[in-house]
Structure 1
Amino acid sequence: MPSRRSEVDSADGKLWTYFETTPVMSTNILGFVIADYDYVSNLDGTMKIWGPRHLLPYATHPLDIAEKATRELERFTNSTVHVPKMDHVSIPHYVSRATENWGMIAYVEYSSATPDDLWKALQDALDESDVPHDDFKVKEVMDTWFKQAAYPVVTINRDYDTGEIKATQQKRVQFSESNDSEGNDAWWIPLNYMTQSNPNSSSTLATHWLKPQNESVTIEGVNINDWIIVNKQLTGKYRRDISCFLILNTGYYRVNYDITNWKRIAAFLNSDDYDKIPILNRAQIIDDVYYMIAIKQLDFIISFEIINYLSREIDPIPWYPAFRIIQRFEDYLWMPQVAAIFKPYFFNLTHKLFEHIGFDEHPDDDPATIEIRSDFNRIACLYNTHPHILDKCRAKAIAKLLAYIEEPNKIFPNQKVICFGLIQANESIWNQFLQRGNETARSHLMFLGCSENLDIVEKHLNSFEENDRYNYLFRNMLENLPNVDTAIDFFIKKFDEIDQADKFILRLIIMSIGEDQIEKIKAFAEQRGLDISKHLADRIENLSKLNDNLSKIRSALENIQFSVAMHITLNNDTSQANKIEV
């Protein structure tokens, strides 16, 4: 368990460390290590890698991998670890075959082969084979992928007079305005392609190589009236798993196209022949389209034309990148001006998908269907995009909450699901929920902000001794299920009791979505002599830009400014909603 505090005994100089209460566990799960080690830690201290000091400079990357792997496992299993920290410990001459300790994983120190050893073995095998490979050097190729950050973007441009197609690679991958990767990095990139006349992707062997020293590579023999899709994904039988489209492609790179080719792909996807493009390529296209918009390499009108095809799609695989895109915008979906566009758009976009997967689980569901149904239900329930299933949403959330209260060590639902179940929970359920938190050494203070009843919030908040209880409360109010009006009112009421109140008022400004909220914060700040005028002005400017963009999107959708037939409108047809079977 995490340490709670440490103190030095003045009598004998001993250092006493006090830990949080350990939950009930089998004795074989308990473990401890005594060693002259140091550690590296993640930002919140919940994960550490321990080892000899001279090895810790190499621990940053494993720490990043361990943290990401933990999040993915929690998401995949829909549960969390039973203790709030995890220590990864390097141990020399470790002989145990099992390290199933709660909160600690032990590893054996050992030397290993280097990547160069592998490249040499592969090169030797290639040189001894009958495979033509000219100047192909395995180490040279692989070093471009192992020793360079980021990944390339391949751009396909066609001269529609001559039919010549050129592929180039982008040597600068922009992740954000504050984190650019610039330089002369270039890769050995395996290329292959399919066309409208020949959409066969049974083989993903490279037909061309785009080399670092080449400015471009030319692709010939493509019908000038065809679309072209580069980086084929394997067709045929594959594991019905969300991760499958990440591992069955030709190369790890994104692809951008000239505008004409994007429009041809959009038109084909929005036709009855859309499924002739292999399913994994359909997923790739959705993912690449979003990225091109994010780096401002593609117009949002074309992106809507591409995404519009999902109104036909019932296979879960292409929906995976679509839901990941939606997640990136969840902070905005609570805004009334955003919801007015998103809710009817999402309703119509997912109509056929929902008819196919339904609301409830089935014994024969494959992993992909299970995950996409979970994504769909979460969005539909939290943002009320499908009003006819709202009662089912509430019932399911409350059932998961009650199941957790009954067996807290068995399952820990998604935080937003718990929050959704607690929104209208009565005093009795709150008492049981918080009691379980005390019994399992989990702090449920973070969930107080879920309640719409300020009396419940205030009563239980006072029962917690944590110094940062207001930090937990406001973070929950503004992140899980944003309740900005309640948060503002509670902040004003408790202002004199809150440490570092300036930090919280800035957070409230960032989450404010309406003029009335801005004015309430402004009036309070003036009354208390707080100078937040710059922050208010910045927020007003950001909201103005957001509203301008929303107006453009609404105008495009309402005026049908598209080159393909759009099957999505901003009108919710409730008669259709009543016909959907759940």
Structure 2
Amino acid sequence: MMDLFVVQIQQESLHFDTEYNTSLYNTSFNIFFEHYSYIKVYSVLRILQEMITEEIFWQSIRIYVKDNKPTFNYFDEIMKNRIRTLSDVDIQISIYDLTRIKQLITTLLTSPIKRTYYIVMEIVRDYKVYYYYTKPIKRLISNLNKSADDFISTSDKLRNNYNIHNIGPDNFMVYNPEQTGYYRVNYDIENWRRMASYLNSTNYREIHVLNRAQIIDDAFHLMITNQLNSTVFWNIAKYLSQETDYVAWYPMFKALEYLSNIFLFQERIYIKIKVKVLILLNKLLDSLKYNELDSNEHDLTKSLRMEAAKWACNLDGRICIETAQHNLISHLENPEKNTLLPWWKEWTYCQGLKILHYPLSNESMKDSPWWKVYRLGKEKFKTKFLKYLSCPEDSTFIIPYLNLIKHDSAPSIIFLKDFSDKDYINYFLFTIAKHARTPAVLDFILHNLKNIKPKQISEYATFTVIINHVYSTDQLQKINDFLTDKFFNGMQVKLNECKKLSRFLNERNMKVETCFTELAENFTCMQPYTSNIVSKLQMRFFEIKSQQNYFQNFVKYQQ
């Protein structure tokens, strides 16, 4: 659990505790939330524990809590007294060092604006001789807190701050053992190469799990900040195909969250990355299996399986989806015997319905999994079951489904007496957002929007959702052309009709006047509407182009 704490708290703190340019729009920004300064305190306390030994640290904590004197000065005095009473020569820490760490923690707690940023240690080695040296590649720190920064790097020197691993003559170093120091590490390219080779061997467990997690996290962060070639990161990430420790996988799952939009683009360069990740996940799940058969299995192993299965199916892994489909069918046929664990329900229902090979209207399929889930949803009236019904991705299934979810139409299959207008609107928008990027579905929505849209929701809101959930400039152009034809060209046609009519009738004829008046009113009403839509289209064009340019930094070196 302490290992998990390190990757969840310390690594997360490092991600936010910096100034760097990772913006999709190539602009520098500084993330600052006050609570991140407080989160960092835990990492500094962990450094303190390493400096004064775990025994003295927890003895001091227990006395501090028991005496109930909530001041850090008191905690500081407890530590000093504990150290003075011990004669252990292995404890190489002075009262001066304690004073400096006290100043650091106090600064973090009381003055979060005076930020102390971590450093990136650049490890460079001369491979002609057997030695190494370190130097800060960059000090991201304000002048007010320079002494605190020096302390973070200096305190690490009080410990054995590196490990040398040997692969015959190809030894390499791992700096910052077990992530006891609060900083990132960047190595020379040869050390990265040797490290990747070692991780991809059967000896990878010789590197502590916290350092395996650190290597993944540091390499990813250095890649997205353009300090490391993307090939290095992906070569290291390949080792995860044999990794079964959740702690080591955790930073990779966080990386996938960061890259999640990349998997929605259909260009070949992004699909290749998707395939690389799926290979890793499939090998992991092949080792863990999908079902939780061992009741004594560690909770972190269960979490690893669940997270891997979620990503494998979200990335359209065929084995994953077919497994979910099999589990869903078994459950629906005999719910009492084939029960679903609560944390597997959403995955089983949604991913199990993802691939359907029959049309919705086929009467012979009334006992299919989809219809069984539909009846189960109506029986229990749980809106989440209705969301599962939108999970199929085949356009031949979704298109007729969109025809049936308009609640004010006679054949609506979703009509429920307790289903509010808000429920219908949310459900419709959820379905539109989920499938708008599918070309055939987008065409259907654009040309049938008036017939499938609930009357309570405006076209403007619907188009906004559609625009925000397409990931292709071609699709955006299609939306733009459709709106141009519908509103601008359509109005021009009506205007021409009025002009033709005026040639044959008196200009004061009421019919002609009414025609022009209605057109003028419609144009006035539509101006802000069309202006906003055009603005959203332009912004989405910009976002997609910026995302593609940004993500290419992570894949341009891939072979």
TM-score, with structure 1 as normaliser: 0.57
Do the aligned partners of residues 153 and 447 (structure 1) sit closer, same or farther apart at CA in structure 2, a change above 3 Å counting?
farther
- Counterpart in the other structure of 1:355: 286
Tell me how far 1:258 sits from its aligned partner: 3.9
Aligned length: 403
Q: In the alignment, does 2:209 pair up with 1:279?
A: yes
Q: In the alignment, does 2:81 pair up with 1:124?
A: yes
Do the aligned partners of residues 225 and 554 (structure 1) sit closer, same or farther apart at CA in structure 2, a change above 3 Å counting?
closer
Do the aligned partners of residues 118 and 555 (structure 1) sit closer, same or farther apart at CA in structure 2, a change above 3 Å counting?
closer
Deviations 1:406-457 (A, max 9, x none): 999993656455433455553452132144235xxx6766556436322443
How far apart, CA to CA, are the structure 2 residues paired with 1:444 and 1:460? 14
Q: In the alignment, does 2:106 pair up with 1:143?
A: yes
- Counterpart in the other structure of 1:4: none
8 A Cα contact 1:172 1:182, kept in partner: no
Tell me how far 1:285 sits from its aligned partner: 0.8
Q: In the alignment, does 2:218 pair up with 1:288?
A: yes
8 A Cα contact 1:446 1:473, kept in partner: no
Do the aligned partners of residues 482 and 283 (structure 1) sit closer, same or farther apart at CA in structure 2, a change above 3 Å counting?
farther
How far apart, CA to CA, are the structure 1 residues paired with 2:249 and 2:272? 20
How far apart, CA to CA, are the structure 1 residues paired with 2:551 and 2:137? 33
Query: Tell me, what secondary structure is at the counterpart of 1:196?
Result: strand
Query: Tell me, what secondary structure is at the counterpart of 1:450?
Result: coil
8 A Cα contact 2:172 2:194, kept in partner: yes
- Counterpart in the other structure of 1:324: 254
Q: In the alignment, does 2:184 pair up with 1:229?
A: no
Do the aligned partners of residues 300 and 402 (structure 1) sit closer, same or farther apart at CA in structure 2, a change above 3 Å counting?
farther
Structure 1 residue runs without a partner (length 5+): 1-59, 66-110, 174-180, 200-223, 234-248, 559-582
Tell me how far 1:512 sits from its aligned partner: 1.0
> After the TM superposition, which of the residue ranges 387-396 and 409-418 deviates more from structure 2?
409-418
How far apart, CA to CA, are the structure 1 residues paired with 2:414 and 2:481? 26
Identical aligned residues as a percent:
21
Query: Tell me, what secondary structure is at the counterpart of 1:168?
Result: strand
8 A Cα contact 1:313 1:352, kept in partner: no
How far apart, CA to CA, are the structure 2 residues paired with 1:506 and 1:496? 15
369, 391, 404: which one aligns with 1:450 = 391
Tell me how far 1:284 sits from its aligned partner: 1.6
Q: In the alignment, does 2:315 pair up with 1:383?
A: yes
Deviations 1:182-239 (A, max 9, x none): 985744324243333579xxxxxxxxxxxxxxxxxxxxxxxx9853322212xxxxxx
How far apart, CA to CA, are the structure 2 residues paired with 1:365 and 1:256? 36
How far apart, CA to CA, are the structure 2 residues paired with 1:225 and 1:508? 54
Q: Which protein is richer in helix relative to its size?
A: 2
- Counterpart in the other structure of 2:429: 474
- Counterpart in the other structure of 2:3: none
Q: In the alignment, does 2:492 pair up with 1:524?
A: no
Tell me how far 1:344 sits from its aligned partner: 2.9
Query: Tell me, what secondary structure is at the counterpart of 2:267?
Result: helix
8 A Cα contact 2:166 2:172, kept in partner: no
Deviations 1:225-255 (A, max 9, x none): 853322212xxxxxxxxxxxxxxx4244433
Q: In the alignment, does 2:224 pair up with 1:267?
A: no
8 A Cα contact 1:474 1:487, kept in partner: no
Q: Which protein is richer in strand relative to its size?
A: 1
Tell me how far 1:292 sits from its aligned partner: 1.8
Structure 2 residue runs without a partner (length 5+): 1-33, 40-67, 357-368, 393-397, 407-411, 489-529
1:86-125 residue pairs with structure 2 within 5 A?
Answer: 113-125=70-82
1:54-453 residue pairs with structure 2 within 5 A?
Answer: 113-130=70-87, 131-134=91-94, 135-136=96-97, 137=99, 138-143=101-106, 146-147=109-110, 148=112, 152-158=118-124, 160=126, 163=131, 165-168=133-136, 172=140, 184=145, 186-187=148-149, 188-189=151-152, 190-191=155-156, 192-197=160-165, 226-233=171-178, 249-337=179-267, 340-350=271-281, 352-363=283-294, 364-385=296-317, 387-397=318-328, 411=342, 413=344, 415=346, 417-423=348-354, 425-437=369-381, 449-450=390-391, 452=398, 453=401
TM-score, with structure 2 as normaliser: 0.59
Do the aligned partners of residues 412 and 357 (structure 1) sit closer, same or farther apart at CA in structure 2, a change above 3 Å counting?
closer
8 A Cα contact 1:193 1:228, kept in partner: no
Deviations 1:69-91 (A, max 9, x none): xxxxxxxxxxxxxxxxxxxxxxx
Tell me how far 1:334 sits from its aligned partner: 3.6
Q: In the alignment, does 2:455 pair up with 1:497?
A: yes
RMSD: 4.4
